[in-house]
């Protein structure tokens, strides 16, 4: 039997990159997948890919930082499929800037998406999940929740915030049968990182510092996501799994 058979799974930021890979991986395991992205046409493309493969999918245009948008999407999922069993908070941005020379408005944009968006979906999605009898929340953090880098202070703060929120929320909602965990990717080849990885010297820099000798691909996250979403991890909550080629082990 497939590991996510008939589970309703919502993935944010799923029109491309890591979110798309996770959504498609869930569908292969039998999940009914909800694709949410600011890029509505892109979300529909992914949903149609899943449908053509014989699985069920819905697509919604949504802004994770907008409470009304989040509430509307969750209500639509409830109206369409009646429950929510898995939530993956993947949407994020990776703006790089020197802290003292930037506009505070830039912080707001990054924190709204990377942190507030996670809180909003955990709140609205978590309430539906509670009514559904429990489930699994998977928040996407970063290896930068554990280490610091220049010009990434606000980004690291946002991902560190998600890591600690994950731990605390797991304690709050365990009594409802809801597990909350996080995945911390290393350098993954997505639109967010592609500009850096196109520079040969920068690519070599990453490859030389990752014990497994390569940067990651979105598909590298799928196994961890399926594990944390499924009953295989029924006794796992409040933890972070780092998918980083061994970078943090050094």
Residue tagged 């970078």 (tokens):
247
Which spans in the chain are helix H? 17-28, 40-52, 67-81, 104-111, 117-131, 153-173, 191-197, 200-209, 222-229
Catalytic residues: 155
Helix (H) or strand (E) run with residue 61 in it: strand 57-61
Q: Are 134 and 180 in contact (CB under 8 A)?
A: no
CA separation for the pair 116, 113 (Å, rounded):
6
Residue 36 Cα distances to 18, 43, 45, 89, 174, angstroms: 13, 6, 11, 10, 26
Residues 6+ apart with CB under 8 A from 209: 247, 250
Q: Which two tokens stand for residue 24?
A: 């498609």
User: What DSSP character marks residue 100?
Assistant: G
């Amino acid at each position: 039997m497939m590991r996510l058979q008939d589970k309703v799974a919502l993935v944010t930021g799923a029109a491309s990159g890591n979110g798309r890979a996770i959504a498609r991986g869930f569908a292969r395991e039998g999940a009914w997948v909800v694709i949410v992205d600011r890029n509505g046409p892109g979300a529909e493309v992914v949903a149609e890919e899943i449908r053509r493969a014989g699985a069920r999918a819905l697509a919604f245009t949504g802004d994770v930082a907008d409470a009304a948008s989040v509430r509307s999407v969750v209500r639509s999922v409830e109206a369409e499929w009646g429950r929510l069993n898995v939530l993956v908070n993947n949407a994020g941005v990776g703006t790089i800037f020197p802290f003292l020379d930037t506009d505070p408005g830039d912080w707001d944009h990054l924190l709204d998406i990377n942190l507030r968006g996670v809180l909003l979906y955990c709140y609205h999605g978590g309430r539906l999940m509670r009514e559904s009898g429990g489930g699994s929340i998977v928040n996407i953090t970063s290896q930068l929740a554990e280490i610091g880098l220049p010009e990434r202070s606000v980004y690291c703060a946002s991902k560190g915030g998600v890591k600690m929120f994950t731990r605390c929320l797991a304690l709050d909602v365990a009594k409802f049968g809801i597990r909350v965990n996080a995945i911390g990717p290393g350098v993954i080849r997505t639109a967010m990182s592609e500009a850096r990885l196109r520079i040969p010297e920068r690519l070599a820099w990453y490859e030389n510092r990752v014990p497994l000798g390569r940067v990651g691909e979105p598909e590298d996250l799928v196994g961890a996501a399926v594990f944390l979403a499924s009953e295989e991890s029924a006794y796992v909550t409040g933890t972070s799994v780092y998918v980083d080629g061994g970078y943090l082990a050094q």
